[in-house]
Amino acid sequence: MAKLGELAQLIRSKNAGPFELTFDIMFDDSASFERVRASDALSREVIARIYHLAPAQVKFFVVPDALAFKASIPRPRFQSDLADSDNHGGQQYAPLMDIEIV
């Protein structure tokens, strides 16, 4: 078993406008990408559970040609709100790194 953070070349989060965050999970080889895809450990439902959202709130894409997964979610606070602790959304990817991949 491995963690997603060990298999992916890049896991990042960033703003997708002031009201959404987007996550990119990219691989440098098709074997790792296919391993994650076949495991079903990364899905709309998994993202929803990690970020305490309803699955319908998660936009989730598998992009085989780019060896990547992409997800977008509503920001918990809009960008620059006084209670926003991550103005650029750059730290929100961290919980994804620990997803167990069989």
pLDDT digits (tens, 9 = 90+) for 52-98: 999 999 999 999 999 999 999 999 888 888 878 788 888 999 999 99
Nearest to 91, CA basis, from 42, 23, 20: 23
pLDDT at 16: 92
Q: Looking at domain 2-76, which CATH architecture does it have?
A: 2-Layer Sandwich (3.30)
The pTM (predicted TM-score) of the whole model is 0.91
In this prediction, residue 88 carries a pLDDT of: 87
Kindly list the domain boundaries of the chain, sorted by start residue: 2-76
**CA separation for the pair 58, 40 (Å, rounded):** 16
Q: Cα(47)–Cα(23) distance, rounded to whole angstroms?
A: 10
d(CA 50, CA 38): 20
pLDDT in tens, 15-63: 999 999 999 999 999 999 999 999 999 999 999 999 999 999 999 999 9
Per the CB < 8 A criterion, the answer to whether 71 and 48 are in contact is no
> Residue 87: what pLDDT?
84
